[in-house]
Amino acid sequence: MASFLPFVLQNLNSLIQKEVGLLWGVDKEMKKLSSTLTTIQAVLEDAEQKQFQDKAIQNWLRKLNDAAHEVEDILDDCKTEALQYESKRLSSSSLKKVISTSLLTYPVENILFRHKIGNRMKDTLENLNAIAEERMKFHLREVVVEKRVELADRRETSSALTQPQLYGREEDKEKIVKMLIENISDCQDVSVYPIIGMGGLGKTTLAQMVFNDERVECHFEPKIWVYVSQDFDVKRVIKAIIESVSKGTCEASNLDSLQNKLREMLNGKRYLLVLDDVWDEDRDNWDQLKYFLACGSKGASIIVTTRVAKVASIMGTVPAHHLSFLTEEDCWLLFKQRAFGHGNEEHPNLVAIGKEIVKKCGGVPLAAKALGGLMRFKSEETDWHFVKESEIWNLPQDKNSILPLLRLSYYNLPLELRRCFAYCAIFLKGSKIEKEKLIHLWMANGFISSNGKSELEDVGNGIWNELYWRSFFQDVDKDPSGNIIFKIHDLMHDLAQSVMEDECHTMEAESSKNVSAQRIHHVTLVANFVRVGGFPKALYRVESLHTILLQYRQPKTSSRGFFPFSCDFTNFGSLRVFDAFHTNMRQLSSSIGKLKHLGYLNLSETLIRTLPKSICSLHNLQTLNLNECYKLQRLPKNMKSLRSLRHLFLKDCYKIQDMPPKLGHLTLLRTLSLFVVGKSRGHQVVELQCLHLGGELCIRHLERVGNSTDAKEANLVGKQNLRVLKLSWGHNSESESQANVEQLLESLEPHPNVEELFIDNYRGAHFPLWMRDSILKNIVSIELHSCRNCLELPAFGQLPFLRRLQISEMDYVEYIDNYFPGGSPVRGFPALEVLRISKLPNLVGLSREEGRELLPCLQQIYIRDCPKLTLPCLSSPKHLDVWSSDVVLSSISNLKNLTTLSVDLAVSFIM
């Protein structure tokens, strides 16, 4: 069970510092709560580690978590009430001015709130004091060394082979042996080769195989094996090296004596040292040890096995060897060896079940060995079916099981990272998870605190990176929109589920089963593509629900799950997260406004047309995701009241024609993906001036901007976190003079950090000066659409990182590249990979200068409706797509790398 207490304590101390307790007359109670929680936290880590061996401690932790959630609700009530009071009474004043207000000026409802919150605080404090006293009988305070030994169940490794056969690792072994005896054998300095992977992947077994390989035996002298684990004490490691080489006990105790003895033993020798299972991330410790080891001869090498990518980056001198998962076939061979033994008869009726069990292993050899060993003496088919149907964490656990090993990774995390990882249990196994979304979910649940020093998102990004470096996440990639996505290995998901236990629950949308409502805080509601009338009735019996996440199983057809949601949200007063992504929800109940703690609301890719006005009362709302709500027509007018809002996602909400007034008041806003310019006050582009926006920003209807001064006040050049900028004029902007339009675009200069630029329906004859290589130095993608009056393109060919260029509907453009290098020839478009050109009636060539070398990295070129274009010899493209154009290819035979050629309608070839 992952304790929620550290996050509550952080939140509580932050409110005490801001003197929020004074506002409601509960300052003394808050400080008493802080003292009690601090006392409990002193023994919390030990309790978390011992809970799996002691049911009494596990029950104690459950009580503590329930109490912590109650405290969090109380604190959030205080914050929300303060925000509401501030918004109603003194919207332009600071909280300190609100605090100084006389009690006599408080409305009756505020006095009633003070009385109610005081009673709740008193009851909770009494409960926590009882919990604090109860812990004493468990004797939780123990010596750190003892708890580390118990936690790790120290099974010290050695160089001796522990597995008779290596399944699926021969290629890994050969690569490492070759690196040691060939690639780095001539290096003057000691080489450090890290082997990295999650727990149970076989890093130690692989290192043992390399260590005992005959070629390695002949190449290195001496060979040394040291099991490091979490205790990276330089003196201990040196002493272990000395004892390994001398085959005797080392009596020296001070560092100087140990150093001299080590140098004496290793000086001038081509040694191989294996440091197995390294966790320590202290660079100073490693630098000190490496200095002592820098005495060997040419080719001396160190192999480091670790689960932590940061350790590999600190220690490694050559690229790390990332250990992959075994194939299902190799896992089966390993499982079969353990389950049936060598030479023993395989039971045909069990083989098919066994292969299904192996799928639980997810390519992790330790899991295959553990499950195989579990089945070794089970011959009944019912026993095998039980294991096949059971979740990993429900199976018998001993020191050879996989979960204790994975828990070691978990408990090696700092406390603030544990809860963030455990929360990932809410996602279905195998789900692709968006990194940014996960961080926003952490924020909404109060798992992240900035303490005023960093942005919440930056703290969350650091936590995510730390978990990734420690092998908790895998398969990191980008989706088509550029968002970072990743997966959690099934066994890591099992770990998260075992930690969350009964706090996290998955249920079918049409389920009528009762659920244990007492301690569930996070529910994943799964749709099977049937019509349901709303939330399952069982869900209404869940108390203190913090997360409702709607997910659906991918059908064979493209239909979505059906979630009408005419139901009442009133019963979910503690809800922090409501996620209805990609469902057929058409209407959101106005009772959503009663969710005063709600911090995350995801309605993206739904069919809603409007939002209820009550949404503007969600004073704690941080993230509102409305991406790709194609039918959404407008936003509520009073959205300026959402003072906690940090992210408003409106990508591809095409039907929104105006914005709520005074969005500039949302000073915490970091994402605003759409802004539709209006003419009246509060709707103008100047609302963007003080917003520190990042990510993507699309500004539509720029023809409504009064003048270039107004455009400059939008301060796009100051928004250094902005990565995607889309500028669009309406189709009724023909009456504007070209000079005014050109001045306007000049005033919309973005920060040089922008990476993608899209301009639509611009009516100027010339592009602004900032569209030069010196300004757009980081640009990777440019799209220009329907800029019909432009006479020529800027010198895009000089942009060093431009990889994608799309030009369409420009009547006067004759050449894509207008640059004249003058002196020595310069390659045009040095990084461009994709070129799309369409509806350019006067385009005659790619470059104005004949013979200029162009597009050395081009992979794909698409041409549509360019009747005058003559395409030169291009040596690099792999894909050429020409449609509806009289395009002349001067030498199609020179397209040596072409793998795909698509030609349609009138196309001419000159061979």
- Count up the domains in the chain and report the number: 6
Inter-residue contact 674 to 695 (CB < 8 Å):
no
Looking at the structure, tell me whether residues 179 and 269 fall in a common domain. yes
Among 152-161, 423-432, 745-754, name the one with the lowest average pLDDT: 152-161
Euclidean distance between CA atoms 503 and 496, whole angstroms = 11
- In the three-class reduction of DSSP (H, G, I as helix; E, B as strand; rest coil), residue 601 is classed as strand
Supply the CATH number for residue 279's domain.
3.40.50.300
Residue, of 630 and 452, whose pLDDT is higher: 630
Averaged pLDDT, 824-850:
85
Kindly indicate the confidence band of residue 608, based on its pLDDT and cuts at 50, 70 and 90. Answer: very high
Q: Is the pLDDT of residue 325 over 70?
A: yes
Looking at the structure, tell me whether residues 77 and 221 fall in a common domain. no
pLDDT digits (tens, 9 = 90+) for 793-822: 998 988 999 999 999 999 999 999 876 555
Task: Tell me the one-letter amino acid at 902.
Answer: S
Euclidean distance between CA atoms 270 and 180, whole angstroms = 11
| Average pLDDT in the chain | 82
Euclidean distance between CA atoms 866 and 879, whole angstroms = 18
Looking at the structure, tell me whether residues 170 and 307 fall in a common domain. yes
Q: Is residue 455 part of a domain?
A: yes
Residue holding tokens 């809970």?
51
pLDDT digits (tens, 9 = 90+) for 247-263: 888 888 788 888 889 98
Q: Which residues pair with 688 in a beta bridge?
A: none
863 DSSP 8-state letter: E
Q: Is residue 703 part of a domain?
A: no
Q: Per residue in 462-496, is it b (16+ CB within 10 Å) or e — as a string?
A: ebbebbbbbbbbeeeeeeeeeebbbbbbbbbbbbb
Euclidean distance between CA atoms 151 and 154, whole angstroms = 8
pLDDT digits (tens, 9 = 90+) for 93-149: 444 444 444 433 445 556 677 777 777 877 877 777 777 776 655 544 443 334 443
Both tokens assigned to 747: 């005033």
Q: Hey, which of 106-115, 208-217, 768-777, 841-850 has the most confident mean pLDDT?
A: 208-217
Last residue of a domain, one of 296, 322, 348: 322
Q: What confidence score (pLDDT) does residue 562 get? A: 46
Euclidean distance between CA atoms 546 and 522, whole angstroms = 6
Q: Is residue 773 part of a domain?
A: no
Looking at the structure, tell me whether residues 11 and 97 fall in a common domain. yes
From the number of C-beta atoms within 10 Å of its C-beta (0-12, 13-18, 19+), residue 517 rates as: middle
Q: Is residue 24 part of a domain?
A: yes
Considering the chain, what percentage of its residues have pLDDT values greater than 70?
A: 80
Inter-residue contact 60 to 138 (CB < 8 Å):
yes
Q: Is residue 686 part of a domain?
A: no
Give the pairing of strands 756-760 and 804-808. Answer: unpaired
Q: What confidence score (pLDDT) does residue 887 get? A: 63
Q: What confidence score (pLDDT) does residue 789 get? A: 93
Q: What confidence score (pLDDT) does residue 561 get? A: 47
Looking at the structure, tell me whether residues 65 and 180 fall in a common domain. no
Euclidean distance between CA atoms 514 and 503, whole angstroms = 15
Last residue of a domain, one of 121, 151, 181: 151
Looking at the structure, tell me whether residues 425 and 522 fall in a common domain. no
Looking at the structure, tell me whether residues 139 and 260 fall in a common domain. no
Q: Is residue 887 part of a domain?
A: yes
Q: Per residue in 287-320, is it b (16+ CB within 10 Å) or e — as a string?
A: eebeebbebbeebbbbbbbbbbbebbebbbeeeb
Looking at the structure, tell me whether residues 36 and 185 fall in a common domain. no
Q: Hey, which of 443-457, 459-473, 844-858 has the most confident mean pLDDT?
A: 459-473
835 DSSP 8-state letter: E
Three-state helix/strand/coil letters over 90-139: CCCCCHHHHHCCCHHHCCHHHHHHHHHHHHHHHHHHHHHHHHHHHHHHHC
User: How far lies 357's CA from each of 52, 334, 354, 361, 401, in Å?
Assistant: 24, 12, 5, 8, 15
Q: Is the pLDDT of residue 332 over 50?
A: yes
Last residue of a domain, one of 125, 151, 177: 151
Q: Per residue in 252-285, is it b (16+ CB within 10 Å) or e — as a string?
A: beeeeebbebbeebbeeebbbbbbbbbbbbeeee
- Domain with 170, as residue range(s), is 156-322
Inter-residue contact 621 to 643 (CB < 8 Å):
no
* 260: Cβ contacts below 8 Å, ≥ 6 apart: none
Residue, of 343 and 404, whose pLDDT is higher: 404
Looking at the structure, tell me whether residues 147 and 160 fall in a common domain. no
Euclidean distance between CA atoms 402 and 754, whole angstroms = 46
pLDDT digits (tens, 9 = 90+) for 182-231: 988 888 889 999 999 988 889 999 999 999 999 999 999 999 999 998 77
What's the pTM value of the predicted model, to 2 decimals?
Answer: 0.82
pLDDT digits (tens, 9 = 90+) for 869-891: 887 776 667 677 777 656 665 54
Looking at the structure, tell me whether residues 301 and 332 fall in a common domain. no
Inter-residue contact 472 to 481 (CB < 8 Å):
no
243 DSSP 8-state letter: H
Q: What confidence score (pLDDT) does residue 345 get? A: 57
Residue, of 166 and 24, whose pLDDT is higher: 166
Q: What confidence score (pLDDT) does residue 848 get? A: 79
Q: Which residues pair with 433 in a beta bridge?
A: 486
Looking at the structure, tell me whether residues 564 and 602 fall in a common domain. yes
Q: Is residue 650 part of a domain?
A: no
Annotate 257-302 with DSSP letters as a single string.
HHHHHHHHHHTT---EEEEEEE----HHHHHHHHHHHTTS-TT-EE
Supply the CATH number for residue 599's domain.
3.80.10.10
Looking at the structure, tell me whether residues 353 and 244 fall in a common domain. no
Q: Is residue 782 part of a domain?
A: no
Inter-residue contact 550 to 581 (CB < 8 Å):
yes
